[in-house]
Amino acid sequence: MLYVDEVASSEEEAIETALRKLRLDRKDITVRSVEEVDNGVKVRIEAVRSRGQEATDLLTDLLRRIGIKSELFYIESLDKVLINVKGVHLGLIIGKSGSTLEALEALLCAMHNRSYTWYKPIVINPGGYRENKHKALKTLVKRAVEAAGNGEKVSLPIMRQRDRKQVHQIIKEFPGFKSRSFGDDNDRRVFIYQAAEDEIGPADGLTEVEYLPTEDPDQTVYNDNTHTAIS
């Protein structure tokens, strides 16, 4: 079961913080130990209810009703529940570029989180799909970076929000290159380009995250069709 060690001025205060971290309610936890320390009390709070188990049971039931025979095992951390699905015909719940999976996740999240005060995201990983997707994106970014080497703007295919986010993270491994998303909701794609000299961030390749709203008129500059498309 999940637990947290919390140091606060009073036991009540420590429990309050722990509940938020564990994303559980008062009735779902137990206080394991209370210890006096210099600046207050150190309390170990343990969960007696597993959100991971509950979400997994719900997904098992749901998949059985959809008609998929599968085996599920979950990994629960403080910030999310990851459910690995093993079975056959998992393509059915993944769908085209993960569309069905995204929908299934949204429904599972909504069903599961309804009865809790704190929201906890659930990630479904059918048959190692997430790892494969990450690998594929990495290859794609690598190719895009090579193409962007001569100063061209390179556009990637239209992607879902989750994939775009991953691309923005992967690009940090390539110092001197930057990524930005442009376009409307269903037509949003990532552009990769060489950062100008003064734009290059710290030596470790971490550049500042930039936020640009879609309605920014400046984006038209990037829609000039002079970029190379990569698919």
> Which two structure tokens, joined as six digits, stand for 77?
């951390």
CB of 127 to another protein, least distance (A): 14
> Which two structure tokens, joined as six digits, stand for 95?
């769908």
Tokens 């995204």 belong to residue: 102
Residues 29-68, interacting with another protein (CB under 8 A):
58, 61-62, 64-68
Residues 68-97, interacting with another protein (CB under 8 A):
68-69, 88-89, 92-93, 95
* 111 part of the interface to another protein, by CB under 8 A: yes
Closest CA to 115 of 46, 73, 54: 54
> Which two structure tokens, joined as six digits, stand for 89?
């015909």
CB of 161 to another protein, least distance (A): 12
Alpha helices in the chain (DSSP H): 11-22, 51-66, 91-94, 99-113, 129-148, 161-170
Which residue, 24 or 104, is less far from another protein as judged by CB?
104
* 99 part of the interface to another protein, by CB under 8 A: yes
Cα–Cα distance for residue pair 160/121, rounded to 1 Å: 17
List of residues contacting another protein (CB under 8 A)? 58, 61-62, 64-69, 88-89, 92-93, 95, 99-100, 102-104, 106-107, 110-111, 114
